[in-house]
Chain A
């Protein structure tokens, strides 16, 4: 088994290295073959390990000692338990699908590069290399048995995300977005690193098992300098890291912009896996978070704000990818709420179902984008279902799952979260419950709005462009694409869609064992006073019963009414949205400006840092320090020039000053005498 543990992350790494460094030698086919082979091997091994873990064989061991200093031994190693096993399958499966899909999506990538760009020459191979490297990093993150390796993986996925958002390096929007993503994540990492530092200092180890073993002792420690309870400070620090990576309010600002990257990575990195790293991390840290009510309250409130307010923005977006991006933010908010409600397993469950249905939505959106020749604005789509039936069906499945309607996967996981939040007894839970319910209605609305707007109704792509106001210019469109009718994407694109749509329907049915079967074992710890999940377990009587009960509850009807609203506005009365927009100009403006966060951050943080830097440089370095240095040099020069006056070389001057000197001395001497 140990060999398998090694193969799982390193097979994709080998693929990435070969595809990246031997791009010219192996060509396009070689690059995608070798990376797909690597990820397939990884997936198969993950399934074997999963089976093994189910049989009760967990593993916790070191690979090598990374560093030893000050009595702190930091090792690179693996922890394989049910939590890891689920993540490994989700990561490798979605990654494999995305690898296959990329063959179709990036087939004509040379069109995206300026002529004679050497960077565009092997961009296809490079893309495969990056996504395999991502898979490696993500696997190292989830398989880690210590905080150091966790942080390694954490930053490595951030690096690949940076490289992939800015993949099309000619586009100013893309290289703005990737810098923004990296920096916002670094703000999160700031907290994360301090959290790790507190744990290392007071637990004397960065190994999960050791730290969790000491959790009870740590709970009584007060940080002497700040006076904060240690466990709360450490958990909030760690969670700030999660807020960056999992794009929680107010560090969510990077995720919508990350849509500048090619769609396959939006699905893989910015929906299914990387952004859920924060959720995974907090679940992994459940033995610590359970000891701090304050931290859990903080988590649930942040999650609630993210869920509701990001869902609202999704309603006004017209870029098909951005709708899905805001929906991702909202769903991540749900997961975070579940964490705050101490329902870690529910969060992981939703992480899994969401990975499938959101990957479907993104890849489906990508399929539409291919068909529309890199047009992303839904105002220029409409009626596509006739031309792209497979894409339509799979997106529809994804949308229903996203809206949380039974029997699709999203229903089970989202409903469980709402129930968990409802039953949670920590401060902030009731606020979260209200947000969660409101977001269900909005989720139904934006999910079906996407389906109806893009796939139903008038075939707006027939009109030549123009008159639609803002449209994201993606440069190298094929000329006069409006004359072509869209057509279904090739099999390398639709096959992954279908394969992902299946778990987007059925993965919810495993709710029984995953949530209530003690499935995660020791991997997740819940304090006895946090009873939400235990209460849910009592009232759970199987999948069918849950569905039957579900249709009688509020969330179901909220989702249905959201869907109905979308139907009414975009199918029945397509003239209405414009009217509403006009009547509600002010709130719409607020939403379109995303509550002004981007403008504020650009002005206050980016601009402020530059102004401060400029001030310090000009004022501090040049005027004060160099001024003083050059001033002292000038002072010496001035002194010398004064002294020089007395050394003129004229004898009569010397004689004169001698006389004055004698006179002064004599006067003084006489005065004293």
Chain B
């Protein structure tokens, strides 16, 4: 009984962390068809922003939920204006340029923070269920992920800004003819996507030792989840994160964590071979 509760929580946690990791990339890719390979580094910078803010005496939750997203969002804004703006519609070129950016940011972070591991302790204590110990912070991550998905749905579906953003995503020329500047909307979208990446990096920062290269651990997973999700933003994200999180945890519990990771990757290959347009290319078509 206790074990099944623990496994359930772990599975929810795995799905939630995949949602968190991929949300920023999903917004940028789903809306703008830009694959931001510097996404992992945006997360890394979110982590560093949190740690720096905490060391300066800011409350840890304020640092994670406010300081990090805004900092990374602003960095994303600069990146969009300087680089990405010139490359819209050239998928491969944006991938290469953002890959270059990711290396650039790793270099900058190494120069500023050094090539050493830094970290903060988790702000929520663990507790035990029966004879098992559970990390209390896992629940915080699950709550943040749920809030994030609901927030995205509400903003995209029921606000005017979301409507305009969705319209621009479908036909930027019509949006322009109706008097909205696609350029500005893209800029705002990229800001939101970067801020989400920063938030994810900040929330996950207490769980990992942060080094300048730790973005690399996220980017592949985020990339796979978003591509396997397909064209729909929220439905795609949820379905692929759910599937991969489940597969990962089943194999982790049955065999070992390494096999769990490998199983996730193998299932991604099989999924893409069967559904080359991603999950939502076939199911939930036309949903958000």
- Binding partners A and B: no
